[in-house]
Amino acid sequence: MKMQDSRIIAAPRDSVFEAILKPEMLKICIPGAEEVTGSAAQGFEALVVQKVGPVKAKFRGTVKVEDVVPGTALRLVGEGKGGAAGFARGAATVTLADHPEGTELTYEVDAKIGGKLAQLGSRIIDGFARKMADQFFERFKKALEIETTFDGSTG
């Protein structure tokens, strides 16, 4: 399934770009993340617990960072194995642009779910995926804006 959306983040483009690549930031932003280790260069490993409809799963996943255009764009490619529940894979292309209020972050996600989860049908999966993507970028935005506020360096 595919989806796209954008957010205005009250922070400068460079700090937004830097933030995406920090494991601590990913841990805050990925809903249900219990652990995120690694680095942008080597790739991240994550342990995520989530419930999709009636199916609860612990996903062990990897996230690789590709196609980096410093300060402007990158691609996050993730894959999670969920044991009995199934598996998930997705890629998000993130582009940043300057905006009067800070930075406009646009993301395009292409996700695939398989196994028992997939069987529940798109009505549950699509809504769930949208909600997760939403939560991720909402948390990201909030975390950045708080940081920025504390920093004192507002846009």
Partner 1 sequence: MTEKTTNGIGAPLPRESARRLAEGRGRYVDDITMPGLLHIAFVRAPFAHGRVLKIEKDDAFEVCGVVAVIEGKDLAEICVPYDTNPTGVPNHVSAPQPPLVVDESCFQGEAVVAVVATSRAAAEDGAELVFVDWDELPASCSIEEAQADSAVPAHTNFDDNLTLKHRFGAVDVSDAFANAAHVVESNFDFGRQTGVTLEPRGIIAHWDPRTEELEVWQSHQVPWQMREVYATQLGLSPQSVRVTAPDVGGAFGLKLHAYADELAVVAVSKLMGRPVKYIVDRLEAFTADAHAREARAICRMALDPQGHILGIDARVDAGFGAYAMHPRGSFGEAMQAAQMIGAPYKVGAFRAEVFGWRQNKPPSGAYRGVGQPIACAITEDMIDLAASAVGIDPVEMRRINYRSTLDEGARATEAGLVIEELSLDRCLAKLINAMDYDRLRAEQTALRGKGVYRGIGLASFVELTGVGAGLYGPLGLTVAANEACRLTLQPDGSLTCATSVTDQGQGTLSALAQLIAGEFDIAPDKVRMIAGDTGRTPYGGGAWASRGMALGGEAAKRASERMREGLFEVAAGILQCEPSDLSLANGAVVGPKGPSGLTLAEIAAICHYRPYDSPLGKVPQMTIEESFVPSDVPYIASNGVHAVHIEVDPDLGTVMLLDYWVVDDCGTVVNPLLVDEQLRGGIVQGIGAALYEECLYSEDGQFTNGTLADYVVPMACEMPDIHVGHVTTPTRSTGLGAKGVGEAGTVGAPGAVRTALNDALSPLGARVTQQPFTASRILEAVMAAEAANK
Q: How far apart are CA 45 and CA 64, in angstroms?
A: 9
The reply to whether 83 sits near partner 1 by the rule CB under 8 A is yes
> Does 122 interact with partner 1 (rule: CB under 8 A)?
yes
Binder of partner 1 out of 7, 27, 99, 112 (CB under 8 A): 112
21 vs 118, beta carbon nearer partner 1: 118
Is 87 or 107 the residue whose CB approaches partner 1 more closely?
87
Among 25, 57, 65, 133, binds partner 1 (CB under 8 A): 57
DSSP 101: T
Q: Judged by CB under 8 A, which of 7, 22, 27, 58 binds partner 1?
A: 58
What is the 8-class DSSP label of residue 30? S
Q: How many CA atoms lie within 13 A of 101 on its CB side?
A: 8
Instruction: Assign 16 to helix, strand or coil.
Output: helix
Residue 13: both structure tokens together: 């483009």
**Least Å distance between CB 127 and partner 1?**
14
Shortest Cβ distance from residue 74 to partner 1 (Å)?
25
Site for partner 1 in 85-104 (CB under 8 A): 85-87
- Pull the structure tokens for residue 135: 């939560």
Q: How far apart are the first and last CA of the chain?
A: 35
How deeply is 27 buried, as exposed, middle or buried, from its count of CB atoms within 10 A (0-12, 13-18, 19+)?
middle
Applying CB under 8 A, which residues contact partner 1?
56-58, 60, 81-87, 112-116, 118-122
